[in-house]
Chains A and B, each alone.
Chain A
Amino acid sequence: MAAVAGRKTAPEREMARALAEGCGAGERAALARAISVVEDRRPGFRELLRQVAAHGRRAHRTGITGPPGAGKSTLAAALARVWRGAGEEVAIVAVDPTSPYSGGALLGDRVRMAPLRLDRGVFIRSMATRGAGGGLAEAVHDVIDLMEGSGFGRILLETVGVGQTELGVAEAADTVVVVLTPESGDEVQAMKAGLAEVADIFVVNKADRQEARALVRRLRDAVGLGRGRSAGGRGADALAEEPGAPGWTPPVLTAVATAGEGIIALADAIEDHRRGLAESGALEARRIARAEARIRAEVRAALEARLGRVAGDGGFGEAARMVAGGRETVYEAAQRLLAGGGILSGDLEP
């Protein structure tokens, strides 16, 4: 289970080289295995990511989120088909929650993506949130990077919008589509969960139902009040500085995903948003903001791991006794531990 401590070994480097090469050549089996290596944080995963990033490819990343049962998978599949029709290759990451009790997960999004089953231009990967505490696993970003480096021009990230995952979607995607249904309370739930703040585009799915029009109206009112990501109303502090496309007001679209209605309009809206981002320079700014957030997360995780090691070595125990005994202040102890190395020095690679 535990990672091998110490330097990269030759087999790890060889594994990374072979998989990165396979990804670059568009080999599906190589991409699939590479995703597992990265998701499991197996030895050599950083080297693998480095080599795949060196392919220098760029994809447009669309996030689809919304409450359970809103039709996200069906919509994602329909959208993928539209893009396929335009000759684009599409990779889909479908994220479902890990059970906090068993550590297992039921990943069922493929059921609704049946029409894509044998299309070689589509790659679907199901992912569990694992230890991400309700958020998106850091590995999701890495998986998207692998897909990008494997030559997929369109990447769809599908997540259930409950808890904190929607903020992760906003961090991972260039364009965020929030899917709601006319079922009572959905809109209120969405506002509560913070979904509305991250939306670049709203889709009211199952729009053939009676209450759909009222929901569309309420959403349009809400958007008009300046809510929505690109209108400057970003709710999450962590994302506050991430730029939106200037002048973009999130459109409220309707769809009946099971019947394929409204999908082309959605694809057009995504394209409009993408173009707006690209032409204003906001796309690049978003990528930089995303990279910074990921660097911060990695540095924080590394520091915490090192703190844990210091604690394991008894460093805290000694300092704590000094402080409790009045021989040293908390600040002196903290300064001494930081200055003593171990916490700030050393290599990232396990």
Chain B
Amino acid sequence: MTTTHRRIRVLVAKPGLDGHDRGARVIVSAFRDAGFEVIYTGLHQTPEAIVEAALQEDADVVALSILSGAHMTLLPRVKALLDKAGLADVLVTGGGIIPDEDAEALHAAGIGRLFGPGARTGDAVAYIRTWFTSSGRAET
């Protein structure tokens, strides 16, 4: 008689020092409209704080918005801390101004797809949905 109500929980964070959160706000709205539960943590987050929040919120996905150019340090750092916290199965994805070759290198390091300028929010939504289904989380 009790049915389960699994929802996709996405933590959206802005690590680092740039103060531009317009992109993050747009994606937060798109995720909510897609039926995700979006935990928005605000500006100027350290990787440590992001991972602690992801742990407490039991997030399925950590989506990072990085416009500062520091993606090559911040993204692997978040991924490494997640792994250390036992959260290796959490998807790390994100968006920002990230050159293709950087995205490839990050992908090789276990980071998911990254969305650059001009990407459609619908693509990010579809990507997360597909990942969620294939991760087996939908059935737990």
Given contacts A32-B57, A42-B140, A106-B28, contact A117 B6 (CB under 8 A): no
Majority SS at the chain A contact face: mixed
Measured between C-beta atoms, what is the minimum distance from B125 to chain A in Å? 10
B97 in the interface, Cβ–Cβ < 8 Å? Answer: no
Q: Which of A79-132 contact B (CB under 8 A)?
A: 98-99, 101-108, 110-111, 114, 117-118, 123-126, 128, 130-131
Partner-contacting stretch, out of B46-54, B61-69, B72-80 = B46-54
The distance in angstroms between the C-alpha atoms of A348 and B4, with both chains bound, is 14
User: Which residue from A2, A110, A128, A306 sits with its C-beta under 8 Å from B53?
Assistant: A110
Q: Convert B31-55 into 0s and 1s, putting 1 for each residue whose CB lies closer than 8 angstroms to a CB of A.
A: 1111111111110011011001101
Do A32 and B140 touch across chains, with their CB atoms under 8 A apart? no
A104 contact from B32, B42, B53, Cβ within 8 A = B32
**B56 contacts across to A, CB distance below 8 A:** 28, 32, 123-125
Tell yes or no: A41 within 8 A of B by CB.
yes
A106 to B34, CA, bound (A): 11
Residues from chain A with Cβ under 8 Å of B45 in the complex: 117
Q: How many chain B residues touch A (Cβ–Cβ < 8 Å)?
A: 37
Whether A314 sits at the interface, judged by CB under 8 Å, is no
Contact A40 B4 (CB under 8 A): yes
- Is A36 engaged at the interface, CB distance under 8 Å to the other chain? yes
Contact with A along B91-113 (1 / 0, CB 8 A): 00000000000000000000000
**Contact (Cβ within 8 A) A131 B31:** no
> Is B1 in the interface zone, CB < 8 Å from A?
yes
Q: Which residues of A contact B37 (CB under 8 A)?
A: 98, 104-105, 107, 126, 128
Q: Which residues of A contact B33 (CB under 8 A)?
A: 99, 101-102, 104
Is B3 interfacial (CB-CB < 8 Å)?
yes
In the complex with contacts A29-B86, A111-B40, A111-B41, A41-B2 CB distance below 8 A? yes
B residues 85-140 near A (Cβ < 8 Å) are: 85-87, 138, 140
- Of B2, B9, B53, most A-chain CB atoms within 10 Å: B2
Q: Is the CB of B2 within 8 A of A350?
A: yes
Structural contact, B4 and A104, CB atoms closer than 8 A? no
Closest-by-CB residue of A relative to B43 is A111
Taking CB atoms, residues of chain B closer than 8 Å to A29 are 55, 85-87
A305 to chain B: which residues have CB within 8 Å? Answer: 1-2
Q: Does A3 contact B (CB under 8 A)?
A: yes
Nearest first, the 5 closest Cβ-Cβ pairs linking A and B are A305-B1, A111-B42, A104-B32, A117-B49, A32-B58
CB within 8 Å of A: which residues of B? 1-7, 9, 28-29, 31-42, 45-46, 48-49, 52-53, 55-58, 85-87, 138, 140
Binding site for B on A (CB under 8 A): 1-3, 28-29, 32-33, 35-36, 39-43, 98-99, 101-108, 110-111, 114, 117-118, 123-126, 128, 130-131, 301-302, 305-306, 308-309, 348, 350
